[in-house]
Structure 1
Amino acid sequence: MAALTADRDTVARAGLLFSYPAKGGVLFFTGAIAAIDTATGLATKGAESTTLKGAGIVQEQIDNTAGADGAANVTIRRGQWRVANSAGADQLTLKDVGMPAYIVDDQTVAKTDGGGKRSVAGTVVDIDPAGVWIAF
């Protein structure tokens, strides 16, 4: 496409709420960490994997356990969300603000990639006694 030679009405959106085709065989719980599987392009729940990219938080329960890939869509909201923190050496602290957090499961993040076994959930923006605030 050529460069503009006049004003253009460029369409915008808030960029917070998305609906993605769901991976088959997956039950998505409301409030769960959601990710896009880069191997398939489908939404799935957070899990230990090297092919996921954190996408946000599931907004409504979707049961695609008996469905094929893409048979259902899952609504995901981006933003800053509090999720569970790992313990021990993988526990995130305020020193980790601005660093990536890694997906452990559909509600937990960790400080490390687990020896190359985990994908990035998002960026740590805060820590409080109840968990880790992640920007998806």
Structure 2
Amino acid sequence: MTATTEGRNTKRRDGKQFSYPAAASLCLAGTIAVLNAAGNAEMGTTATAKVSVGVFDETVDNTGGAAGGVQVAVRRGCFQFANSASTDALANTDIGATCYIVDNQTVAKTDGSASRSKAGVVRSVDAGGVWVEF
């Protein structure tokens, strides 16, 4: 395509909400959303090669369906999740660092000896949990 010589109506998004094909699984609202190797959205688990994309904006049950057969809404932003335990717990000294997915609602300080995928960036840690920016 060549360069335009006129103004154009460029499509845009606010960068906060997207829709992805759902894996043949349950996607619960408010849980960590990841894309698997096939590019389908599923809940976060301790696994490698998952791409964190945000938080499910709705619950979609595609357990009896075909992967990619339905779409699920995902929202990007900063959300609070449960903090891992013991030496893997996050603290205020970890603000700005990457955190890792333990399960669909828990994040940790380390990648668990290369067994966890990245969740997002730690923005705050308080008594309620860890604020993660996706």
The answer to whether the superposition gives a TM-score over 0.5 is: yes
**Structure 1: distance between partners of 2:71 and 2:5:** 39
Counterpart for residue 21 of structure 1: 21
Residue 53 of structure 1 pairs with residue 58 of structure 2? no
Counterpart for residue 108 of structure 1: 106
Structure 1's unaligned 5+ residue stretches are: none
Further displaced range: 75-84 or 1-10: 1-10
TM-align CA RMSD: 1.2
% of aligned pairs identical? Answer: 47
Deviations for 1:36-83, whole angstroms, at most 9, x for unmatched residues?
A: 11x111111000111111111111111111111112211111000001
- 1:28-107 alignment, distance < 5 Å: 28-37=27-36, 39-107=37-105
Q: CA deviation at 1:6?
A: 4.1
Deviations for 1:71-101, whole angstroms, at most 9, x for unmatched residues?
A: 2211111000001110111101111111111
**Structure 1: distance between partners of 2:103 and 2:18:** 21
**Structure 1: distance between partners of 2:51 and 2:119:** 6
Question: How many matched pairs?
Answer: 134
Relative to the length of structure 1, the TM-score reads 0.93
Extract structure 1 runs of 4+ deviating beyond 2 A.
1-11
Further displaced range: 64-73 or 103-112: 64-73
Structure 2's unaligned 5+ residue stretches are: none
Relative to the length of structure 2, the TM-score reads 0.94
**Structure 1: distance between partners of 2:4 and 2:114:** 45
Q: Which amino acid aligns with 1:124?
A: V
